[in-house]
């Protein structure tokens, strides 16, 4: 018997808001977290703006002990700890120490890289023959599974503890993997999410590829322009999103707050064949992923009320809209509402999918559709595919029953998840 699966906790560390309250207000009002980045200017990046969460020392002290903070230098792990523990506590679950681990609870928390700042620090110490000064935490801060290991220890998780990594698809993939584990009965609940480091050592490669915008260094909030005719590349961002994925039976028994239900989804790859490559999606694979997610969720395409797209503010935006239209058999007259969170947070890379899933679930729970800013000049190819009124300039309060969220990543990998209002 497959179990129904719901979301009972949310946590978020985003460029425009740390914590659910700040983040919810920011997305409702189209408040951008993209700012001028002095480090990127100093290092002569073409793109000198970024979306970076603001974390105070006082906030860090609420999540990490003095010992943990000693020689700590991993922004991604820090973001993930905050988002993950917030989600756990939001679900009404305890982090108190116990003699035994919680055998029914685990985590799948992904990342692209871990502790890039710590890794750079380690390289210099090794090159300067100071290997003994690396400290005892260098390994756990730089191993890819560092984030899931930290969270497991802080919460006492005894089920599966894993970090996945699938480029910009990582966050959405982690939630689907957690969903499958709970659905099959292998876990009662899973903490799912993803995180991404901040800074030039993460973002430099993308600047070198010339996929980041360079036209808005003096007006940061206008820099990220998904679906716009004047989009000129994405704005690099970072942060973390986390969701507690739990069986409906357990949630009801605990009298937990339920944000939404996960109906299903799909993960696939275009195999870097056809139109697909290491950096570009195979449009056939994207369409198959969306169709398979709809089928797996047990719904029909016409039941989808809203889409939270991947939509990065690059030349691929129009192709993504075309893929949605083809996969769902929708046209100008019946295309659902669609928005992109990247307009106000930038592209948070491996954290993008999880942060955007948090935003998606908030829309379902509270009955609103957030606006996509910087899209006054809708791309002409997109305007042929949908009614421009389906891309909002201001928030509307409206009941959404079913929402589709997709992420597409380097390596030609795709994930689509279907959420339902509970």
- The mean pLDDT value for 214-224 works out to 97
Q: Is the domain covering 5-260 a CATH 3.40.47.10 domain?
A: yes
pLDDT above 70 covers a percentage of the chain that reads: 97
Domains of the chain, by residue range, sit at 5-260, 265-420
Tell me the pLDDT band of 275, cut-offs 50, 70 and 90.
Answer: very high
In a 10 Å sphere around its CB, with 0-12 CB exposed, 13-18 middle and 19+ buried, how is residue 136 labelled?
exposed
- Among 416, 405, 415, 413, smallest CA distance to 167 is for 413
- Show the CA angle centred on residue 360, arms to residues 286 and 91, nearest 5°: 125
Q: Which fold has domain 265-420?
A: Peroxisomal Thiolase; Chain A, domain 1 (3.40.47)
pLDDT exceeds 90 at position 407? yes
- Among 323, 350, 417, 403, smallest CA distance to 169 is for 350
Tell me the pLDDT tens digit for each residue of 226-258: 999 999 999 999 999 999 999 999 999 999 999
Tell me the pLDDT tens digit for each residue of 14-40: 999 999 999 999 999 999 999 999 999
Same fold, 5-260 and 265-420: yes
pLDDT exceeds 90 at position 416? yes
Which pLDDT value is given to residue 96? 86
| Residue-averaged pLDDT of the chain | 95
Which pLDDT value is given to residue 138? 78
Q: Is the overall model pTM greater than 0.85, yes or no?
A: yes
Q: How many CB atoms lie within 10 A of CB 252?
A: 13
- Among 13, 9, 5, smallest CA distance to 355 is for 13
């Amino acid at each position: 018997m497959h179990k129904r699966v719901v979301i009972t906790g949310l946590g978020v560390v985003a460029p425009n808001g740390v914590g659910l309250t700040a983040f919810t207000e920011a997305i409702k009002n189209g408040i951008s977290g993209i700012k001028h980045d002095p480090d990127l200017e100093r290092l002569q990046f073409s793109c000198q703006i970024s979306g970076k969460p603001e974390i105070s020392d006082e906030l860090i002290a609420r999540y990490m002990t003095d010992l943990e903070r000693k020689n700590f230098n991993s922004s991604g792990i820090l973001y993930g700890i905050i988002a993950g523990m917030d989600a756990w506590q939001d679900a009404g679950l305890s982090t108190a120490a116990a003699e035994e681990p919680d055998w029914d609870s685990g985590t799948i928390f992904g990342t692209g890289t871990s502790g890039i700042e710590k890794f750079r620090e380690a390289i210099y110490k090794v090159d300067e023959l100071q290997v003994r000064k690396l400290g005892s935490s260098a390994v756990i801060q730089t191993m890819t599974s560092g984030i899931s290991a930290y969270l497991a220890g802080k919460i006492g998780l005894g089920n599966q503890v894993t970090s996945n990594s699938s480029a910009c698809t990582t966050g959405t993939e982690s939630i689907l993997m957690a969903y499958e584990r709970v659905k099959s009965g292998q876990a009662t609940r899973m903490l799912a999410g993803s995180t991404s480091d901040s800074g030039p050592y993460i973002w430099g490669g993308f600047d070198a590829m010339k996929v980041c915008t360079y036209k808005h260094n003096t007006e940061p909030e206008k820099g990220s322009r998904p679906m716009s005719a004047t989009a000129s590349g994405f704005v690099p961002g970072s942060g973390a999103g986390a969701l507690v994925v739990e069986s409906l039976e357990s949630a009801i028994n605990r009298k937990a707050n339920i944000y939404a239900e996960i109906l299903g989804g799909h993960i696939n790859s275009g195999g870097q064949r056809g139109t697909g490559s290491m950096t570009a999606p195979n449009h056939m694979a994207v369409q198959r992923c969306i169709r398979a997610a709809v089928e797996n969720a047990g719904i029909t395409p016409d039941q989808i009320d809203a889409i939270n797209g991947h939509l990065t503010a690059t030349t691929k935006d129009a192709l993504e809209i075309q893929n949605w239209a083809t996969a769902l058999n929708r046209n100008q007259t019946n295309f659902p509402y669609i928005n992109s969170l990247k307009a106000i947070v930038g592209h948070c890379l491996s954290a993008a999918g999880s942060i955007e899933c948090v935003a998606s679930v908030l829309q379902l729970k509270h009955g609103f559709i957030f606006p996509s800013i910087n899209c006054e000049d809708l791309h002409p190819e997109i305007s042929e595919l949908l009614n421009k009124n389906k891309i909002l300039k201001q928030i509307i309060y409206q009941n959404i029953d079913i929402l589709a969220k997709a992420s597409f990543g380097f390596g030609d990998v795709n994930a689509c998840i279907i959420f339902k209002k509970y």
